Structure 1
Amino acid sequence: MTELLQVTGLGKRFGGVQAVADVGFALRPGEVLALIGPNGAGKTTTFNMLGGQLRPDAGSMLLNGTALGGKLPREIWRLGVGRTFQIAETFASLTVAENVQMALLSAAGRTFGLWQKAAAFEREQALALLALVGMQDQADRACNALAYGDVKRVELAMAMAHKPLLLLMDEPTAGMAQAERLQLMALTRQLARERNMAVLFTEHSMDVVFAYADRIIVLARGRLIAEGTPEAVRHNPEVQAVYLGTGSTYDSQEPV
């Protein structure tokens, strides 16, 4: 199958710290890829370069042959890259449906003046997206009244509003109970398969990683140390020593 995302020789330095060095991997449509590693491994830096929040110092990132490096986050979004965040990004005072409608407005490139009401804009499409994530029956509740796991589902519906080719999920299950974690990632993998959408996610909950990733890439000190199926990565001696086992030699005070 043709690769959707190709990352080659990616590098980023902050002063005297080489946060990411010569990282490369590929991602196919419909595939779910986990990016893991200890604190300071370079996961967040890699993620932010893909999303446009940081510019790489070296290497290339190609989405369907189009270079992502140097583009702004909104430009990358327009190319078909969606994103969810470790702390859910929703409008707390708006209803569930209105949050998704806001995402649909953005996807359509539409703006409304303060004198105009956007409450009716693409409501049926918003409800259809909410149905995908099991939240249609809560469409008219305010987001600030939802359980955290449900807010994460709303955020996923919002990310799906512009039909992304690639979905980046930064710690998607942070702060969730185990049952909620597994449900959210099962849903994400289902959407990836049904929509032929590639998913790249970072995660510290290994139950989620090994249950739902098709492949795993492992970073340590900014370098790729392993890549493969969950079973292969689980039994990789270097991964066990650095991350999965006790006494990691790559821990740092701050995540990078």
Structure 2
Amino acid sequence: MSTVLSVRGLSKSFGGIRAVDDVSFDLAQGELLALIGPNGAGKSTCFNMMTGHLKPDGGTVSLNGTPITGLKPRRIWRLGVGRTFQITATYASMTVVENVQMALISHHRRVFALRPYAHRLYRDEALELLDLVGMAAQADRACAVLAYGDLKRLELAIALAHAPGLLLMDEPTAGMAPGERAALMQLVADIVAQRQLSVLFTEHDMDTVFAHAHRVMVLNRGRLIAKGPVAHIRADPEVQQVYLGGGTLFNALDTSTDA
């Protein structure tokens, strides 16, 4: 499979703190790749450099072979990079479908044609995206009354409105109940398979990571300490030390009460 995202020697410091230190990896088309690590490991800093929100001190980021290092976030988004955030950002006063319509209006460069018919623009397309994420039945509800898990599904539909080839998901299941986490990540995995979308996601819940990721990378204090298939990461002694003080991730999963 072709390489969609290529990162080489990515580095970033804040004062004397080396937040990201010489990180390199590739992400293939149709791959679901997890980036895990303790709080403060550098995961969000990596994401922010890939999307142009932070300028790297060193290293390069390429999308489909084209360098994107240092480009502005909107330019990177236009090249086909979508993102979801730890905390959902939707228009609470709008309906579910209107939120997706706004994303489609931006995608189709119709922002300056909003008045007075914005509510008519791309509604059918928006409903198709909502159907994809299991939210079509709630299309005309106000976002303000949605459950948190439904907001996460809506955010995914908004991200997909731009038809990205690469999707970066920063802790997509944060704040969700175990059943909701499993359902959302299964939905993402299904979309990856259907659309050959490439997804890089950060996550703290190991059950979610091991159940859905094709490969896993582990960051600790800004450096990649391990990367490979799930079984390799589970058995890696350094990863076990970082997460469990020497216990095993197999045992952690066996005794988990998560659904």
Band of TM-score, shorter chain: over 0.9
Residue 178 of structure 1 corresponds to 178
Matches within 5 A, 1:1-256: 1-112=1-112, 115-245=115-245
Give TM-score, length-normalised by structure 2: 0.93
CA contact under 8 A between 2:237 and 2:246: conserved in structure 1?
A: no
Give, in angstroms, the shift of residue 161 of structure 1.
0.4
Give the CA deviation at 1:112: 4.0
Q: Figure out how many residues of one structure are paired with residues of the other and give that number.
A: 247
Cα deviation, residue 67, structure 1: 1.2
Q: Label 1:115 to 1:100 Cα distance change in 2 as closer, same or farther (>3 A).
A: closer
| Letter aligned with residue 216 of structure 1 | V
Distance of 1:2 and 1:135 partners within structure 2 = 32
- SS state at 1:119 partner: helix
Contact 1:97/1:139 (8 A) holds in 2: yes
| Mapped partners of 2:50, 2:137: distance in 1 | 34
Provide the residue aligned with 1:254 in structure 2.
none
Using the TM superposition, give the Cα deviation of residue 246 of structure 1 relative to its aligned residue in structure 2, in angstroms. Answer: 6.1
Q: Is the 8 A contact 1:62 1:68 kept in 2?
A: yes
- After TM superposition, the structure 1 stretch with the greater mean CA deviation from structure 2, 191-200 or 104-113, is 104-113
Cα distance between partner residues in 2 of 1:195 and 1:244: 36
Tell me the distance in 1 between the aligned counterparts of 2:206 and 2:61: 27
Give a deviation string over 1:69-91, Cα, whole Å, max 9, x none: 11111111000000001001111
Q: Are the equivalent residues in 1 in contact too, given 2:130–2:136 (CA < 8 A)?
A: yes
Cα distance, 1:244 vs. partner?
4.0
Q: Larger RCO: Structure 1 or Structure 2 (Cα < 8 Å, ≥ 6 residues apart)?
A: 1
Task: Supply the AA of the counterpart residue of 1:199.
Answer: V
Counterpart secondary structure, 1:4: strand
Aligned residues with identical type, % of pairs: 62
Match for residue 253 of structure 1? none
- Conserved 8 A contact 1:23-1:224: yes
Q: CA deviation at 1:245?
A: 3.8
Find the residue that maps to 2:49 and give its secondary structure.
helix
In structure 2, the CA distance between the partners of 1:22 and 1:115, relative to structure 1 (3 Å rule), is: closer
SS in 1 for 2:129: helix
Cα separation, 1, equivalents of 2:17 and 2:245:
26
Structure 1 residues 244 and 194: CA distance shift in structure 2, 3 A: farther
Q: For structure 1, which segment, 104-113 or 26-35, has the greater mean C-alpha deviation from structure 2 after superposition?
A: 104-113
- The residue aligned with 1:252 is none
Distance of 1:114 and 1:76 partners within structure 2: 24
Do the aligned partners of 1:112 and 1:118 also contact (CA within 8 Å) in 2?
no
Is the contact between residue 95 and residue 143 of structure 2 (CA under 8 Å) also seen in structure 1?
Answer: yes
How much does 1:111 deviate? 1.6
For 1:114 and 1:50, the matched residues in 2 are separated by 31
TM-aligned CA deviation for residue 206 of structure 1: 0.9
Cα distance in 2 between the residues matched to 1:164 and 1:37: 26
Instruction: Provide structure 1 residue ranges, at least 5 long, that are not aligned to the other structure.
Output: 248-256
- Paired AA for residue 222 in structure 1: G
Task: Classify the secondary structure of the residue corresponding to 2:239.
Answer: helix
State the alpha-carbon separation in 1 of the partners of residues 244 and 26 from structure 2.
23
| Counterpart amino acid of residue 78 in structure 1 | R
Conserved? CA contact 1:82–1:160, under 8 Å: yes
Deviation digits for residues 177-221 of structure 1 (CA, Å, limit 9, x no counterpart): 000000000000110111111000001111111111000000111
Q: Secondary structure at the match of 1:9?
A: strand
How far apart, CA to CA, are the structure 2 residues paired with 1:143 and 1:244?
39
